């Protein structure tokens, strides 16, 4: 873990996820400041992570740190970057966690500041099982990249990817858990209605999900062979509808991220 001072601009959901992962493994930067306009978000952050310094309505201190993490939605980024660029130190690094806004655009909004990278964060980082792909600008050195890796590697995998693939990862890894979590909850409830206890349902579902993923990707079998392992397929008649929903809804959302 780096000893660099870190500033979070935005103290909402994503910041809580990352700090939650740091806290869970007991490895977190000691010098963290977080800013936000929302007092509720800051209060929530202070309760969960009392070692984090919080600032309301003023991003200048967060922007003055050695590593600046933009935990903002894309529409908010332009205004914030124009506001903070005079506070950023020459050797600082800016890490954007947002899709859509490119490194080139980030640099332009920062008045030509080039020490920028982008990361697509994954909610599973909160249990140190994240998949957080990152793309670096050409202005960052190998030692800079190692610093970023030292910060985020405790949260899970942090593969270096080409920037043009980040929106695809946003669709797959960042939003991916939401495609399944509600289904798992429903299966758990159904299992309980069949007579399993809550503990039994949770344990069985958890181990089934992990095992199913391993069978799919570690067995060496083809997809056809995997699908044939279980002869009974109760949802077979609905599979085409589910696949069509994935293609139409996710396809349209991806187009919006790439515009």
Structural domain boundaries enclosing 229: 176-258
DSSP 229-256: S-S--TTHHHHHHHHHHIIIIIHHHHHH
Q: Are residues 204 and 248 in the same domain?
A: yes
> Average pLDDT over the chain, rounded to whole?
95
What would the pLDDT profile of 28-51 be if each residue is shown by its tens digit?
787 999 999 999 999 999 999 999
CATH code of the domain in which 34 resides: 3.40.50.720
3-state secondary structure 146-207: HHHHHHHHHHEECCECCHHHHHHHHHHHHCHHHHHHHHHHHHHHHHHHCCCCHHHHHHHHHH
Q: Are residues 156 and 209 in the same domain?
A: no
Q: Are residues 150 and 190 in the same domain?
A: no
Q: Are residues 207 and 250 in the same domain?
A: yes
Q: Are residues 36 and 105 in the same domain?
A: yes
- Both tokens assigned to 224: 């056809």
Predicted local distance difference test score (pLDDT) of residue 3: 79
Predicted local distance difference test score (pLDDT) of residue 258: 86
What would the pLDDT profile of 152-196 be if each residue is shown by its tens digit?
999 999 999 999 999 999 999 999 999 999 999 999 999 999 999
Q: Are residues 239 and 210 in the same domain?
A: yes
**108-113 contact pairs (CB < 8 A, 24+):** 109/77, 109/78, 109/81, 109/82, 109/85, 110/81, 110/85, 111/85, 113/85, 113/88
- Both tokens assigned to 126: 């909160």
pLDDT of 1 higher than 90: no
Q: Are residues 17 and 53 in the same domain?
A: yes
The answer to whether residue 171 sits within a structural domain is no
* Domain end point (choices 113, 141, 163): 163
What would the pLDDT profile of 113-148 be if each residue is shown by its tens digit?
999 999 999 999 999 999 999 999 999 999 999 999
Predicted local distance difference test score (pLDDT) of residue 4: 86
Q: Are residues 122 and 15 in the same domain?
A: yes
Q: Are residues 208 and 104 in the same domain?
A: no
Mean pLDDT of 237-246: 95
Cα–Cα distance for residue pair 4/214, rounded to 1 Å: 37
């Amino acid at each position: 873990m780096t000893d660099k001072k870190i500033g979070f601009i935005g103290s909402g959901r994503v910041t809580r996820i990352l700090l939650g992962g740091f806290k869970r493994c007991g490895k977190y930067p000691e010098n963290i400041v977080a800013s936000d306009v929302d007092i509720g978000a800051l209060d929530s952050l202070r309760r969960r992570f009392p070692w984090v310094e919080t600032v309301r309505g003023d991003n200048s201190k967060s922007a003055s740190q050695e590593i600046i993490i933009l935990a903002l939605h894309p529409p908010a980024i332009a205004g914030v970057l124009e506001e903070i660029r005079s506070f950023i130190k020459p050797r600082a690094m800016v890490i954007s966690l947002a899709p859509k806004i490119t490194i080139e655009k980030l640099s332009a909004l920062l008045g030509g500041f080039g020490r920028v990278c982008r990361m697509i964060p994954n909610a599973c980082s909160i249990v140190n099982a994240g998949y957080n792909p990152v793309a670096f600008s050409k202005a960052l050195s190998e030692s800079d990249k190692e610093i970023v890796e030292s910060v985020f590697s405790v949260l899970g995998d942090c593969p270096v990817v080409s920037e043009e693939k980040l929106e695809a990862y946003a669709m797959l890894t960042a939003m991916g858990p939401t495609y399944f979590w509600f289904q798992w909850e429903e299966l758990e409830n159904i299992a309980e209605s069949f007579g399993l206890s809550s503990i039994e349902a949770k344990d069985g579902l958890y181990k089934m999900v992990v095992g199913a993923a391993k069978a799919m990707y570690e067995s060496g079998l083809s997809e056809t062979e995997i699908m044939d392992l279980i002869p009974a397929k109760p949802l077979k008649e609905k599979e085409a509808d589910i696949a069509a929903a994935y293609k139409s809804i996710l396809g349209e959302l991806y187009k919006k991220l790439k515009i």
